[in-house]
Copies of this chain bind each other. A is one copy, B any other.
Amino acid sequence: MEKKSQKHGNSVVKMRDVAALADVSIATVSRYLNGNLDRMSTETANRVADAIDKLNYVPNSAARQMVKKSSGLVAVIAGNIDDFFSTEMFKGINAMLESKGYVGVLFDSNSDLDREKRLMQIVSNQIFDGAILQPYNAVSVIQDTIKRPMPIVIADREIEQSPWPQIVTNNYEIARQATQYYKDKGFKRVIMITSSLTMAANRRDRYYGIQSVINNIDVLEVSEKSYNHKKVLQQLVTLINGSQEDTLIFALKERWLTEFIPRLFYKGLIDDKHVAVTGFSDTGTAQYIDPKTKLISQDPYLIGADSGEVMVNLLEGKKQEPEKIIVPAKFG
């Protein structure tokens, strides 16, 4: 009485078929599959193995997960997967997770509050064992959205009053440090290039870090999604020429370095004496524009690895304070 019209995606052969062919009980097959070989004669183990092979049996994970209450899958909701930071962080997360038998899967919130919320909903409705977030939304929103109690780790984007562990960069400190370096060289003014996103914690901290050293800051906001390259370039030139002070161009994001600096450099506007450039650069690509440029590099991979480790601790029930781990960035 086989249903012929089963939806694509089911293997028809199940444990009892394997058991039958191997002439054992399904319990034995289950044991075999779960690695309890010590409670089994090598001989039967082989028979089971053969049967599995012959029938091309693949376990139904939904059934298994229903009783084990675990899928081994950890959801990662990243801010923007076009961003090297996010993807590199994901690689770090996975390296850690996989060493412990878990697997990370990546979702892309696209830096969109609503979308992030939707994804959190989906994740909390699915069979993920935990979630690592690089969140835009606030604590209260996250709490309201993820109803099912599950381990959560916050990565990169610091949030206030987080009930969950956080792994972040020392944004304030490193921005301060870089700015100080240039101040010591005589720079007295900063043009800060940033995305037009609202004052996310990261951006804010960086801003304050700069400001703690040099107060004279012009902010150039560029819309992440759509902007006129030529126009922004022009604005930048105007800003640069708008003051006699030695000026430091400070990009809060690598993208602005690679997109705007080569032209300025080529035009001779950047000479490292009256106009210098620095910024956050994670890929190292910006370095190739001019090898002499000193940049701030974060360590997204390490941030990911740490997040992964914290998640594993949570999953394995080890004590894990809702602490804040700071992964320092480097300037130089």
Min CB distance A127 to B, Å, is 5
Interface locus among A82-90, A196-204, A209-217: A82-90
Given known contacts A122-B103, A288-B260, A60 and B66 CB-to-CB distance under 8 angstroms:
yes
The proximity string for A residues 5-23 relative to B, scoring 1 for CB distances below 8 Å and 0 otherwise, is: 0111111000000000000
- Of B87, B149, B258, the contact of A258 (CB 8 Å cutoff): B258
Q: How far, in whole Å, are A14 and B107 apart by their CA atoms in the complex? A: 27
Main secondary structure of the interface of A (DSSP, over half): mixed
Query: Cβ of A126 and Cβ of B73 under 8 Å apart?
Result: yes
Min CB distance A304 to B, Å, is 12
Given known contacts A7-B70, A9-B129, A63-B66, A107 and B108 CB-to-CB distance under 8 angstroms:
no
- Of B8, B130, B151, B258, the contact of A314 (CB 8 Å cutoff): B8
The proximity string for A residues 50-92 relative to B, scoring 1 for CB distances below 8 Å and 0 otherwise, is: 0000001011111101100111010100000110100110110
Interface locus among A237-245, A262-270, A271-279: A262-270
Query: Cβ of A88 and Cβ of B82 under 8 Å apart?
Result: yes
The proximity string for A residues 89-114 relative to B, scoring 1 for CB distances below 8 Å and 0 otherwise, is: 01100100000000101111010000
The proximity string for A residues 25-67 relative to B, scoring 1 for CB distances below 8 Å and 0 otherwise, is: 0000000000000000000000000000000101111110110
Q: How far, in whole Å, are A8 and B312 apart by their CA atoms in the complex? A: 12
Query: Cβ of B7 and Cβ of A58 under 8 Å apart?
Result: no
Q: How far, in whole Å, are A190 and B103 apart by their CA atoms in the complex? A: 43
Tell me if A229 counts as interface (CB < 8 A to partner B): yes
Q: Which residues of B contact A108 (CB under 8 A)?
A: 87, 90-91, 94, 106
Q: How far, in whole Å, are A82 and B70 apart by their CA atoms in the complex? A: 29
Q: Report copies per complex.
A: 2
> What number of A residues sit within 8 Å (CB to CB) of B?
61
Q: Which residues of B contact A61 (CB under 8 A)?
A: 125-127
Query: Cβ of A87 and Cβ of B94 under 8 Å apart?
Result: no
Min CB distance A37 to B, Å, is 19
Q: Considering residues A61, A108, A124, A129, which has the most beta carbons from chain B within 10 angstroms of its beta carbon?
A: A61
Q: How far, in whole Å, are A317 and B9 apart by their CA atoms in the complex? A: 11
A/B interface sample: 21 pairs, CB < 8 A: A7-B70, A7-B317, A8-B149, A8-B317, A10-B69, A56-B147, A61-B126, A62-B62, A62-B65, A62-B127, A63-B66, A65-B127, A81-B106, A87-B108, A90-B108, A105-B106, A127-B127, A258-B258, A259-B285, A259-B288, A260-B288
Binding site for B on A (CB under 8 A): 6-11, 56, 58-63, 65-66, 69-71, 73, 75, 81-82, 84, 87-88, 90-91, 94, 103, 105-108, 110, 122, 124-127, 129-130, 147-151, 229, 255, 258-260, 262-263, 265-266, 285, 288-289, 314-315, 317
